[in-house]
């Protein structure tokens, strides 16, 4: 029986991205079967090839964010290199880039230029603040988008400076949103035959994460402002991190679930306590609730025993795991949320799985991340029909780059 095509198999993506947001978008498309051609502009390739653990031309950071892509490395300062890119455009379905606004057009690959060559092309530009508006001139990274969106201000203790989340929440979320948008654009093109330009930004993505405050602030100007509340949620109670005997757990209980919590704690008297009757009452008395709940947690020798009692009453809660604890959990292993892969230079390593699961295509573990320029010959032969002699001339004229083979590949 023939192996079914993956969802995006047959589509070709030209990838001008670097760091995390753009590469997340194209990585998802690559894993879904698209032929993603990552353009790298020097022998060093994407900046993240030097981040994380680095061995023999590969890094953990690069592998995680750029597997399922092929590498085309060429010096775009040379006119012949730019001509090669433009010659590929008629055979490209999607272009993704995340330079600062205006840079891709200066390079000669802006949307207006590309759609003259291929009217059906879809282009997605990812930036910190978008392609238009007073802030569009800014270059930037994840945390800058979060700062301008009012998100970073809400993280941390109320009497201290805002805290920095130690992960690329905005970058990866913007990459996922961009991949979604490209998928929608491809569907629209199937219906209409028309390409489209997609303007994605970290600032817009972060602001889209605002769960509660925006409409309330708009209706109560000057009277309502979200405040940092540390380990508690500023507008919900109980909702936050609580200390147990051997770690922390997160508890979040809505009004209709409070009776379950009182049953689990064997404290039916608290159901009629005026301090805890409503969410507003509990917010006013958050510290008193915390004291009572943490005293109850302290009666257990370990966190898991307390969670078992809460689970029995279906009280929403979870252990606050360290990364290594989350990685080791059988649930994460069974669903391939954590998956083990192999690289010639890095050996075996673990990376995150796809954030969604499809019934037809299980998560792949046979993933590959290319060295700089490793796929030059194959790409130029397949897409442009160049001969070995023509490709050799491009190497001789320094149009193409290629990293040396790994020690494993030489064996």
Active site residues: 171
Distance CA 405, CA 411 (A): 10
Distance CA 175, CA 103 (A): 19
Question: Are 46 and 23 in contact, with CB atoms under 8 Å apart?
Answer: yes
- Report CA 186 to chain centroid distance, whole Å: 21
Distance CA 150, CA 264 (A): 37
Bridge partners (DSSP) of residue 318 are: 250
The kind and range of the H/E element at 247 are strand 247-252
Bridge partners (DSSP) of residue 317 are: 251
The kind and range of the H/E element at 39 are strand 35-40
Distance CA 175, CA 36 (A): 15
The helix-helix angle for 303-312 and 286-297 (nearest 10°) equals 110
**395 phi, psi to nearest 5 deg:** -65, -45
């Amino acid at each position: 029986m023939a192996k079914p095509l993956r969802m995006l198999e047959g589509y070709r993506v030209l990838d001008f991205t670097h760091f995390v947001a753009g590469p997340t978008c194209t990585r998802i498309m690559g894993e879904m079967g698209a032929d993603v051609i990552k353009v790298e502009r020097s022998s060093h390739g994407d900046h993240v090839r030097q981040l994380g653990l680095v061995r023999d031309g590969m890094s953990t950071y690069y592998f995680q964010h750029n597997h399922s892509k092929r590498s085309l490395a060429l010096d775009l300062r040379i006119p012949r290199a730019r001509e090669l890119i433009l010659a590929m455009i008629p055979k490209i379905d999607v272009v993704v880039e995340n330079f600062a606004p205006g840079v891709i057009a200066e390079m000669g690959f802006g949307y207006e230029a590309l759609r003259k060559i291929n009217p059906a092309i879809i282009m997605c530009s990812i930036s910190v603040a978008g392609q238009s508006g007073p802030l569009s001139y800014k270059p930037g990274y994840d945390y800058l988008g979060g700062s301008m969106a009012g998100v970073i201000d809400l993280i941390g203790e109320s009497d201290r400076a805002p805290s920095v989340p130690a992960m690329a929440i905005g970058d990866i979320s913007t990459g996922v949103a961009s991949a979604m948008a490209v998928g929608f654009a491809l569907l629209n093109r199937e219906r209409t035959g028309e390409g489209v330009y997609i303007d994605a930004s970290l600032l817009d993505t972060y602001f889209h994460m605002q769960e509660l405050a925006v409409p309330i602030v708009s209706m109560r100007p000057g009277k309502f402002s979200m405040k940092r509340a540390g380990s508690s949620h500023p507008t919900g109670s109980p909702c936050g991190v609580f200390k147990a005997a051997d770690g922390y757990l997160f508890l979040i209980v809505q009004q209709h679930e409070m009776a379950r919590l009182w049953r689990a704690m064997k404290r039916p008297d608290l159901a009629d306590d005026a301090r805890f009757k409503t969410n507003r009452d509990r917010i006013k008395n958050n510290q008193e609730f915390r004291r009572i709940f943490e005293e109850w947690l302290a009666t257990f020798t370990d966190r898991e025993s307390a969670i078992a009692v809460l689970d029995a009453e279906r009280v929403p809660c979870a252990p606050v795991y360290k990364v290594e604890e989350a990685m080791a959990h059988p649930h994460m292993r069974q669903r391939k949320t954590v998956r083990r892969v192999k690289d010639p230079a890095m050996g075996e390593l673990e990376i995150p799985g796809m954030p969604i699961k499809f019934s037809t295509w299980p998560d792949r573990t046979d993933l590959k991340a290319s060295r700089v320029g490793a796929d030059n010959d194959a790409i130029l032969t397949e897409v442009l029909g160049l001969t070995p002699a023509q490709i050799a001339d491009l190497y001789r004229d320094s149009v193409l780059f290629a990293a040396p083979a790994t020690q494993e590949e030489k064996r």
